[in-house]
Chains A and B, each alone.
Chain A
Amino acid sequence: MATGTKKVPTYCYQCVAGPDLLNVVVEDGVATKVEPNFGVTEHPAGGRPCVRAYSLVQKLYNPNRVKAPMKRTNPRKGKDQDPGWVEITWDEALDLLAGKLRGIREAGFVDEHGYPKLAVTFGAGGTAPAYLGGFPAFMSAWGGPLDQGIGSGQGMKCVHSEHLYGEYWHRAFTVAPDMPNNTYVLSFGNNGDVSGGVIGIWRHAEARGRGATWIQFEPHMSVTAATAAEWVPIRPKTDAAVLYAIMHVTLREHDWRTVCDVPFLSRMTNAPYLVGPNGYYMRDPVSRTPLVWDEKAGAAVPFDVGHGGATTQDPQTPTEADGFALDGEYTVSGIEVGPDEEIITHASVTARPSLQLLRDFLAPYTPEWAQQISDVSADTIRRVTREFLAHARVGATIDVEGTTLPLRPVAILLGKSINNGWGGYECCWARTVMAALVGALEVPGGILGTTIRLNRPSSNRMESVRPGPDGFMAQPLNATSKEKWQARPTSRSAHKTLVPLVSDGSWSGALSPAQLPWLFMDDAPAKWPEPTPPEVWIVGRSNPAISNWDTNLIIEKLRKFPFVAAFAYTQDETNWFADLVLPDSTDLESFQLFRVGATKYVESYWDHQGVALRQPVVETLPFDTKDLTDVGTELARRLGLLERYNEALNRGVALGVPLRTPHYDRGLDPAKAYTSAEIWDRACQAATLSLSNGAEEHDLAWFREHGTYTVPFSRLNWYLHPEMTKKGLRYELPYQERLKRIGGELKNRLHEQDIRWWDTQLEEYQALPPWKDFPKIWEDVAERFGKKPEDYGLWLLTSRSMQYSWGSQASLPLMADVARHVRGHFGVMMNNTYAKSLGIADGDDVWVESPIGKQRGEAMLRAGCRPDVVVAIGQFGHWATPVASDKESVNLNMLEPIDLSLIDATGSGSDLIRVKVYKA
């Protein structure tokens, strides 16, 4: 037995803002506590992990864990059906799973409806990849389609609008403020002081310390609203109205030529592109290049005239673009290209620069108009706009590593339920347009994208910037042309068929209408291949039974899944329906090398990049669990896929770095089965060789001692701006001409198939999206269930809990004790005055009822809550997970229906529902 005390470096990736680096203290072979890893001085938050990381020791030794593989003996599945688990050996378990998979390989990968028979669901937000070890290489070696469209709640919780549009507009799968340089944030529901990760929180706090201003628009006073300079209690789902009013004030009440970044608009956006009568760019009839109006020449010219694509951002150096008209109307000849190559020829028509169209479009969206919709006063709207424009410091510059870049220290941030669901497109568009108007897009101080998931290479945003049509970036869109459109869905979420923006990568299935598998299983529209239960469903680090909406619907479908293999930590609500549970070695028990630094999700952008090791911290694991890399190897071996599996690893699948390149070869012998340690040893060597360009090489033993290896990462890589200017590209803003056309094509395709149930979603493809009555969409839900909307007068919202977010702590009593210090946990918050009017006192039990069900919880009276809003923190509703199931609390997921009317064009929805509340 080991003796003495040692500190074992590892990382935590229980949320997507990580990895957080930490040490686990091990005394006499027993892990006892977690500490920050101060040795990693490159870490922008001082090497400190967040509250959840400290529960990892309890997570390791939790006696409620699944301690060995188990198989189900009760063939009936249901909430009230005990699975009848019986422990089996790993060999039996893997043989059982391999047998099922072999059946698919032999009979055909795809079922009679065209869906892959194997479906795989891993946890949200990319947290799972940091724990899957080599398993993704098995998925790659599978050799046939597999469906990742049965999500873990993506269509309902994930911020698809921000992901898809963000990556489309500025390679921003997630959008972050450049906080180290920022002085002014307008946040619409972005709860960054809970969700921002240690780096985000550190930077926000530092910004507050130096006097930066953060204004929080949110229906209740979240943690971020609490730390903000000002809380503005906005009515739910009206954020777009305020954003549109802000744009209105900027472009119509101020002198826009003074307050906007005119050179940026002229040179780096489609603001000067002339738009024809049908809403498409006016184009040169031969080259099809979009036209602009050259004021000096007094004529329409192609936008790329003269400079051949090269632009410069130095305002002192004039370019041709500075002479392009941004306002007015002009008589122009040319063509418009509509959907399906429809050419509309114009001899002389009136065309306007898209900025002019935007200004005209914004005419009705006055602050007074926004006030009566949103409850945000017109004065406030004008004031924050004035402050935003002043803080934007249009024209200012800053030196970044010897390069002069624009400095625009302002950002508009959006939170969940604002950047997804109906209105998500409008809010994302407005926010990004506002950034473009002052040039605060992808420059110091402004909004940045921190990662990409749909474009390649995923490890390098900059490299994914490639010239595309019309002066914009190339985009990996799913085809909508008649010849190439994927008519028959390839995944149960139909990503390729319904969502052009989501491309067709490994993440695409889940980033789409992941509601559809549940909604259409047993009840598909006519002519739509009904999503079938997959023959084999592998699920891990995820709890879809309760992390989707309408729990009763989900578990009704889950009962029919013929074979579910769940990588399980404890018994939970999803593996309650499993046929096989496989306890994988979790956070502190297995090997993986994972990327750190560079720019990643949320606000994790560093001045370094590198890799960090996760490793078993104790010599003897407490239970009979298995490293997922070994599981992948074992399954590959059993299925005769070992060679393909090893080759996938050699290419870098799952490892994050190829084992073989022209510069080094640490490749695996395809015929041999390696242990997890052996595989990751090679990954360590390859990673360090790759990062150091061959100068250094470190193996697993080195990483087990040191934990992390990094090299400098240029801060210039935080910003897309240098890449865009270098490649002479423009941002496709403000006018969404391509989206309009794509939407038209998609509509044609769907209507050709007589599919009209996606028509409402098709309306999102608007070049300048008008305001819609978004709150009414939710108010109308009651009618769809035969109830009266006026009976459900309150909004039920949810808000993040740092102590519980991403779900890994649900079964840990330590975290319950800690979380209770933050008000709102395990209850439902409501406005104190409103509650008293209903005779509800603090601590009373209340019913929260929606058109589809009701839940009982403890009322927690708050002053910091709109009277028409109730808030249930986090996502509970457990009945099978130990400890979590001891607490009854209001869970929004039980109360919100999965309904087509609530799904937007990117396949996302919003976590809110109309309810009534009364004393129990």
Chain B
Amino acid sequence: MPAQLQHEWDLYHATWFTLMGIGGGVFLVARLLRIERGLGVWLGLPVVDLVSFVAIGIGGLVLVWSLGRPLRMLRAVLKPGTSWISRGAIADFIFLVTGGLLILPSLELAGVKPFAALPWDAWASTGAGKAIEVVGLLASAIVIVYAGLVLADKAAITFWRSWLIPAQFVLSSLTMSIATVMVMATLNGTPVGLLECLLLGKVSLLLLLAIAWHLATERAKPGKAESLARLSTRYRWLYFGGVVGAGTLLPALLGFIAAAAPSERAALGIAALPLTVAGGFFLRLVTLRVGYFPPVSGMLRLRKR
């Protein structure tokens, strides 16, 4: 059987991966850089966390919608011992619970905080809050890495069987998230920090490196060869022009320029957001769409009489 494209996972899954990447990533980036306050507060809650929940919530719904049996979705947590989808589902769940718990005490409705009695706040300023935040951070780290591991760990698709796939997805999640927090800061009237800009530049370059490394190695491997051929033909413009050029190289430049030009950071951040998000989405979508099952040979030998 010649190599054959997979058709199992497509738009829904690319959307799910992207939204998980943004959802987990913004939580991670905002809290690790300690900039969550500057990104806005609404009803007492960190807006970045709300963005995170919405992204993950929609991503989760998209995932559930893609299932053959959506109403059974809760079963997906049953096999963390062997299945990255299970682990990811658990991580999603833990993240939503811990993230939700973390911000709950800070909720303010009509001047009242109904959950203020809880011994922490949304900013993790107490020990208990810090502990919950750590759990949440760990969960969000898994949230942004598991999609790539799903593909890399056991898929039969040669092109996906590389640690460089989860690496690309993580790095892409980070670039999307950094750009998101840059824009959120701008919308909240907070100046965009130097660190965010440098991170945008460096992480984008790392992403570029991961993509290049993946494309340059094991080029002749059965299944991967076909994927590379399809990238170079059918997806030539979208991948190299879109994902690599516009989605990775350009945000890297914007990041470094923004680092050197504080007055331009707001505008550059706003420019970087659609580039990184579109780039991230198409990175995932094209990766799925060039996924070839390797050929299965008939073990024929040419016979000479």
Contacts and interface: CB of A to CB of B under 8 A. Distances in A.
Contacts of A230: 303, 305
Interface string A191-231: 00000000000000000000000000000000000000110
Nearest to A230: B305
A53 to B, nearest CB: 27
Nearest to A380: B305
Interface in B282-305: 303, 305
B305 to A, nearest CB: 6
B296 to A, nearest CB: 14
Contacts of B305: 229-230
Contacts of A229: 303, 305
A230 B302 CA distance: 11
Nearest to A213: B305
Nearest to A215: B305
A489 B303 CA distance: 55
Contacts of B303: 229-230
Nearest to B305: A230
Nearest to A383: B305
Interface string A153-194: 000000000000000000000000000000000000000000
Q: How large is the interface on A (under 10, 10 to 19, 20 to 34, 35 or more residues)?
A: under 10
A229 B305 CA distance: 9
B3 to A, nearest CB: 14
A599 to B, nearest CB: 34
A230 B305 CA distance: 8
Nearest to A231: B303
Interface string A230-244: 100000000000000
B299 to A, nearest CB: 15
A230 B303 CA distance: 8
B164 to A, nearest CB: 32
B207 to A, nearest CB: 36
Nearest to B304: A230
A229 B303 CA distance: 9
B121 to A, nearest CB: 62
A385 to B, nearest CB: 15
Interface string A671-709: 000000000000000000000000000000000000000
Interface in B237-296: none
A214 to B, nearest CB: 13
A129 B57 CA distance: 68
Interface string B95-137: 0000000000000000000000000000000000000000000
A379 to B, nearest CB: 11
B83 to A, nearest CB: 33
A87 B115 CA distance: 77
A229 B304 CA distance: 10
Interface string B24-46: 00000000000000000000000
A446 to B, nearest CB: 24
Interface string A320-352: 000000000000000000000000000000000
A123 to B, nearest CB: 37
B269 to A, nearest CB: 47
A286 to B, nearest CB: 57
A347 to B, nearest CB: 56
Interface in A224-268: 229-230
Interface in A881-914: none
B132 to A, nearest CB: 56
A879 to B, nearest CB: 33
A221 to B, nearest CB: 13
B196 to A, nearest CB: 50
Interface string A594-636: 0000000000000000000000000000000000000000000
A822 to B, nearest CB: 14
Interface string B132-150: 0000000000000000000
B217 to A, nearest CB: 30
A226 to B, nearest CB: 10
A260 B233 CA distance: 64
A294 to B, nearest CB: 46
A391 to B, nearest CB: 15
B160 to A, nearest CB: 27
A230 B304 CA distance: 9
A903 B305 CA distance: 38
B304 to A, nearest CB: 10
A16 B232 CA distance: 52
A77 to B, nearest CB: 46
A186 B86 CA distance: 60
B105 to A, nearest CB: 61
A518 to B, nearest CB: 44
B60 to A, nearest CB: 36
B300 to A, nearest CB: 10
A334 B305 CA distance: 53
A384 to B, nearest CB: 10
A294 B283 CA distance: 93
A831 B132 CA distance: 68
A888 B305 CA distance: 40
Interface string A290-309: 00000000000000000000
A103 to B, nearest CB: 62
A727 B239 CA distance: 84
Interface string A518-542: 0000000000000000000000000
B1 to A, nearest CB: 11
B274 to A, nearest CB: 37
4 contacts: A229-B303, A229-B305, A230-B303, A230-B305
Top 3 A-B pairs ranked by shortest CB distance?
A: A230-B305, A229-B305, A230-B303
